């Protein structure tokens, strides 16, 4: 049972980052309740995983998904978190810290985990707006704001962080140039050969890479406009990202008189020159070395937690580290020292066709370093041999081919991982060995990767060891292992929807053939599942460059009518906002009589449905309707279907706004926009909601002061009521918010995912953040939507009649074709 707070020693932690909070986590595991704990954080948020800033930039993660310790965790563990208020002074005599806002807190033991700060090259113009680092969430938000406007980005620095920033910005639609001072990229992790391969691959994916490039000046007046190099070249830039390295944040330590060299000097037990003050993380210097990778920082945390808990510890001993990178589909791994030199020899494997390069550096009979490019599956095995100092003489001749040729001739991953010893390190970031994972699986009954992450933290940081952890689950549980549902797009590929979408933009892929080739489709022409999805993703990404591919659409979309159970079709012309007139009604009646259409029905979407149209009559039916000025209602399409309205203030005595006018404007703005799934809207003229706006994908409800905007609803089998997005005052605002929401849905949802499951998957908050709170981003989304509409609002049958589209694009498929029916 823990002591009351007043009787416990007070541990004050300066820094709410990964190293400091890992120390606190480990301390709570070792000695729960031993300390009263207060944490000061400079950022106004809880502890999050900085390694995941790149996926956050790329759109692969939202902030909630990278949080390590929630606000509830701090409360549950009786930790006082003071966020957004950094410590600015330490009084070692009085043993107090003082924050920027004037809070003074006494300590019995102080832990400095102040981290590092990005290095900013002090060239002229480095303080201009538009120049950012890549260190925290604010930096990501600044990059996202810049990327929403498009344009050019220059990333200074070709290391791990710089390449991830470049890939993320390119994926967000910017044209990106990487400039790097050294002769090849990632020179600390890769040798020149691997660096050359990496540079070539990045350039093939649309990134510009300039090595041996020295920045002379950042050009601009009120905002950055270009980067000038020492050789006179000038690169256009709307955004400049400084990713040239980090330096320990030591200001507090210096000001209070602690011993500081490059970092805060600590001993093996992580103690500073003041016994009452410890330090861990990127801010420290241990035996003349500063560390920036997470694995050594977590090892420091473990040592300090042992000491604070009163346990014996051998102290921190630096060990070899490994690096794994995955940028735009490129796998890179390195470990140890690959610089070569006297007494070393190289084993090299190259496969130009597959883009694979492997180099093992031996010193005597042990591995000194390893570099893998293109195929990094064996990286963990080489790293284990390196750290263990194992004699590799017995399999020297086959070493380059990996563990499959070192006793496991079957190449079976289950057998390979079973051969690893219990002390083999699996997760370098968190220092988790195989034995710890196996024990957790067997003792706690874990069956999934997420459960292993939660209990052991293996693969919870960078995630590069997830495959190895899954192999341990398979080897330990056999059929009891529950594999994560990654839902590949189809059987032709192992890639999921989100990955395919990112690669289309990042690599500039502008045809289905290009996507299938670049992402190594296992079938030559795809299938009925992936072809419609690729067609949509390409159309959304490149609205002015990709031509809609008719043969990749289902029969309903190809002939602009819904196939019925008897093989005839249903034709629904568009009625703007549910409004019609005698001329349109007369044209519909004439068509029904002329083609002997047996059934004419009013639909739930306030339109008229012509049921029982023969396939051979469809072109003529649409020609007559087009001649009367009526276009397709897209009742068959993954697109806008209807905008339902009530009569509103135009006629109703309860109406507060003109709902019919609003519905017509919204429909005319959004019709013809291809989307991931069907999309329905409604406008109700008062809160009585006669148009049922609160079960639509986008619903508008009039109130006295303007309009309520609702999103993410649907009827059908599983009814979902909308979420309130916001309230606005004007018609123009309704249109802008609507267009921005549609475009965000178009760009982020997976094909055949309606708005309701999309919002349930990502949460409403990211939508509010992107559309309501970020006015610049909302405007950019709206402009991209209008740009897309400028080339998509066209009736295909009219385009065919005018000879602007080849007839074969809309020729019916044979009944046996897999796309011939939904």
Position 379 confidence tier, pLDDT thresholds 50, 70, 90 = confident
Q: What is the pLDDT of residue 64?
A: 86
Binding annotation = 646, 652, 686, 690
639 has which bridge partners?
A: 674
Number of domains in the chain: 4
> Which pairs count as long-range contacts for 450-458, CB under 8 Å and 24+ apart, including other chains?
450/484, 456/427, 456/430, 456/432, 457/427, 457/430, 457/432, 458/426, 458/427, 458/430, 458/432
The tens digit of pLDDT for each residue in 620-649 reads 998 899 888 888 888 888 899 999 999 999
Q: What is the pLDDT of residue 201?
A: 87
pTM above 0.75, yes or no: no
Position 548 confidence tier, pLDDT thresholds 50, 70, 90 = confident
Q: Write the CATH number for 698.
A: 3.30.413.10
Q: What is the pLDDT of residue 801?
A: 40
Structural domain ending residue among the three candidates 203, 219, 244: 244
Claim to verify: residue 17 and residue 95 sit in the same structural domain = yes
The percent of residues above 90 in pLDDT, for the chain, comes to: 56
Q: Say if residue 685's pLDDT is above 70.
A: yes
Claim to verify: residue 663 and residue 787 sit in the same structural domain = yes
Q: What is the pLDDT of residue 6?
A: 63
Q: What is the DSSP string of 442-486?
A: HHHT--SHHHHHHHH-TTSSS-TTHHHHHHHHHHHHGGG------
420 within some domain: no
Least confident segment among 24-33, 55-64, 277-286: 55-64
804 within some domain: no
Q: What is the pLDDT of residue 404?
A: 67
807 within some domain: no
User: The tokens of 149 are what?
Assistant: 């406007």
Best mean pLDDT range from 167-171, 352-356, 679-683, 816-820: 679-683
**Buried/exposed 216-227: b ≥16 CB within 10 Å, e otherwise:** bebbbeeebbbb
Claim to verify: residue 665 and residue 771 sit in the same structural domain = yes
Taking a C-beta distance cutoff of 8 angstroms, is the pair 796, 805 a contact? Answer: yes
Q: Say if residue 711's pLDDT is above 50.
A: yes
Claim to verify: residue 87 and residue 161 sit in the same structural domain = no
415 within some domain: no
Helix (H, G, I), strand (E, B) or coil at 151: coil
Nearest to 685 by CA among 697, 668, 703: 703
608 has which bridge partners?
A: 602
The percent of residues above 70 in pLDDT, for the chain, comes to: 91
Residue 701: which region, alpha, beta or left (left: phi > 0; alpha: psi -120 to 50)? beta
Other Cβ atoms less than 10 A from the Cβ of 806: the count is: 11
Claim to verify: residue 231 and residue 191 sit in the same structural domain = yes
**Buried/exposed 619-640: b ≥16 CB within 10 Å, e otherwise:** bebbebbbeeebbbbbbbbbbb
Nearest to 52 by CA among 463, 466, 465, 501: 463
Q: Write the CATH number for 60.
A: 3.50.50.60
Q: What is the pLDDT of residue 225?
A: 97
User: The tokens of 480 are what?
Assistant: 């009891």
Q: What is the pLDDT of residue 174?
A: 93
359 within some domain: no
Structural domain ending residue among the three candidates 293, 308, 323: 308
Between CA 129 and CA 221 the distance in angstroms is 9
Least confident segment among 142-156, 474-488, 601-615, 618-632: 474-488
Q: What is the pLDDT of residue 796?
A: 43
Q: Say if residue 41's pLDDT is above 90.
A: yes
Taking a C-beta distance cutoff of 8 angstroms, is the pair 381, 419 a contact? Answer: no
User: The tokens of 338 are what?
Assistant: 């690959």
Q: What is the pLDDT of residue 328?
A: 58
Claim to verify: residue 645 and residue 783 sit in the same structural domain = yes
What interhelical angle do 618-627 and 582-594 show, nearest 10? Answer: 160
User: Containing domain of residue 685, as a range?
Assistant: 637-794
Least confident segment among 32-41, 99-108, 472-481, 732-741: 472-481
Structural domain ending residue among the three candidates 226, 244, 262: 244
24 within some domain: yes
Nearest to 708 by CA among 680, 685, 742: 685
Q: What is the pLDDT of residue 234?
A: 96
Claim to verify: residue 72 and residue 148 sit in the same structural domain = no
395 within some domain: no
Claim to verify: residue 67 and residue 46 sit in the same structural domain = yes
Binding annotation for [4Fe-4S] cluster = 646, 652, 686, 690
The tens digit of pLDDT for each residue in 422-452 reads 877 787 666 688 888 999 888 888 888 878 8
CA 406 to chain centre: 38
Binding annotation for siroheme = 690
Q: What is the pLDDT of residue 484?
A: 58
Claim to verify: residue 704 and residue 769 sit in the same structural domain = yes
Residue 583: which residues within 8 A CB-CB, separation 6 or more? 628, 629
User: The tokens of 712 are what?
Assistant: 């993410």
325 has which bridge partners?
A: 332
Helix (H) or strand (E) holding 778: helix 775-792
Claim to verify: residue 776 and residue 646 sit in the same structural domain = yes
302 within some domain: yes
Claim to verify: residue 146 and residue 39 sit in the same structural domain = no
Claim to verify: residue 225 and residue 301 sit in the same structural domain = no
């Amino acid at each position: 049972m823990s002591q009351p707070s007043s009787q416990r020693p007070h541990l004050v932690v300066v820094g709410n980052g990964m190293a400091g909070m890992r120390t606190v986590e480990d301390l709570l595991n070792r000695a729960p309740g031993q300390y009263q704990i207060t944490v000061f954080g400079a950022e106004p948020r809880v502890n999050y995983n900085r390694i995941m800033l790149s996926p956050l930039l790329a759109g692969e993660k939202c902030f909630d998904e990278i949080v390590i310790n929630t606000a509830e965790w701090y409360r549950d563990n009786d930790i006082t978190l003071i966020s957004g208020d950094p410590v600015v002074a330490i009084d070692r005599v009085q043993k107090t810290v003082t924050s920027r806002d004037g809070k003074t807190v006494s300590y019995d033991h102080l832990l400095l985990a102040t981290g590092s700060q990005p290095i900013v090259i002090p060239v002229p113009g480095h303080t201009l707006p538009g120049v950012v680092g890549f260190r925290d969430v604010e930096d990501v938000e600044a990059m996202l704001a810049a990327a929403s406007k498009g344009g050019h980005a220059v990333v200074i620095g070709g290391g791990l962080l710089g390449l991830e920033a470049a890939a993320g910005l390119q994926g967000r639609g910017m044209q990106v140039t990487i400039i790097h001072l050294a002769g090849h990229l990632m020179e600390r992790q890769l040798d020149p050969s691997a660096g050359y391969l990496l540079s070539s691959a990045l350039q093939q994916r649309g990134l510009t890479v300039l090595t041996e490039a020295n920045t002379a000046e950042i050009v601009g007046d009120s905002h950055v406009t270009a980067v000038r190099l020492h050789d006179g070249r000038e690169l256009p830039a709307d955004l400049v990202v400084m990713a040239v390295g980090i330096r320990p944040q030591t200001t507090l330590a210096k000001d209070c008189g602690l011993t500081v060299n490059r970092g805060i000097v600590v001993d093996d037990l992580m103690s500073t020159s003041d016994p009452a003050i410890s330090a861990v993380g990127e801010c420290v210097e241990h035996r003349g070395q500063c560390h920036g990778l997470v694995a050594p920082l977590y090892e420091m945390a473990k040592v300090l937690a042992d000491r604070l808990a009163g346990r014996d510890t051998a102290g921190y001993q630096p060990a070899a580290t490994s690096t794994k990178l995955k940028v735009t589909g490129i796998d890179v791994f390195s470990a140890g020292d690959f610089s070569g030199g006297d007494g070393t020899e190289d084993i090299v494997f190259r496969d130009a066709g597959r883009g694979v390069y492997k180099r093992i550096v031996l010193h005597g009979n042990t591995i000194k370093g390893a570099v893998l490019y293109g195929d990094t599956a064996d990286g963990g095995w080489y790293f284990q041999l390196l750290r263990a100092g194992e004699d590799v003489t017995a399999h020297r001749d086959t070493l380059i081919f990996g563990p499959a040729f070192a006793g496991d001739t079957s190449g079976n991953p289950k057998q390979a991982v079973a051969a690893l010893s219990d002390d083999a390190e699996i997760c370098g970031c968190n220092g988790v060995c195989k034995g710890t994972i196996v024990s957790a699986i067997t003792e706690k009954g874990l069956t999934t990767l997420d459960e292993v992450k939660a209990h052991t933290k293996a693969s919870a940081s960078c995630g590069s060891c997830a495959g190895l952890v899954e192999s341990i689950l398979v080897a330990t549980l056999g059929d009891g292992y529950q594999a994560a549902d990654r839902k590949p797009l189809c059987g032709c590929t192992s890639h999921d929807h989100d990955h395919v979408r990112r690669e289309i933009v990042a690599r500039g892929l502008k045809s289905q053939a290009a996507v299938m080739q670049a992402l190594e489709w296992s079938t030559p022409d795809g299938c009925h599942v992936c072809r419609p999805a690729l067609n949509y993703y390409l159309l959304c990404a490149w609205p002015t460059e990709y031509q809609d591919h008719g043969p990749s659409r289902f029969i309903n979309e190809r002939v602009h009518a819904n196939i019925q159970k008897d093989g005839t079709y249903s034709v629904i012309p568009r009625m703007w906002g549910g409004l019609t007139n005698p001329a349109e009604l007369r044209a519909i009646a004439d068509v029904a009589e002329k083609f002997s259409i047996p059934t004419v029905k009013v639909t739930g979407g306030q339109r008229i449905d012509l049921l029982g149209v023969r396939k051979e009559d469809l072109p003529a039916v649409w020609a007559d309707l087009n001649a009367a000025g009526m276009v397709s209602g897209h009742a068959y399409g993954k697109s806008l279907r209807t905008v339902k309205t009530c009569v509103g203030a135009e006629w109703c005595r309860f109406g507060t706004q003109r709902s019919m006018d609003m519905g017509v404007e919204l429909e005319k703005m959004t019709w013809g926009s291809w989307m991931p799934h069907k999309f329905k809207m409604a406008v109700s003229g008062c809160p009585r909601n006669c148009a049922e706006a609160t079960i639509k994908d986008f619903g508008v409800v009039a109130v006295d002061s303007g309009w309520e905007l609702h999103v993410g609803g649907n009827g059908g089998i599983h009814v979902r009521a909308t979420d309130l997005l916001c309230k606005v005052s004007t018609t123009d605002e309704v249109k802008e918010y609507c267009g921005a929401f549609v475009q965000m849905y178009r760009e982020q949802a997976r094909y055949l995912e309606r708005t309701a499951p999309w919002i349930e998957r990502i949460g409403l908050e990211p939508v509010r953040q992107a559309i309501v709170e970020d006015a610049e981003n909302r405007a950019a989304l709206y402009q991209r939507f209008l740009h897309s509409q400028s080339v998509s609002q066209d009736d295909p049958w009219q385009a065919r009649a005018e000879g602007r589209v080849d007839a074969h694009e809309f020729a019916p498929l044979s009944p046996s074709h897999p796309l011939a029916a939904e």
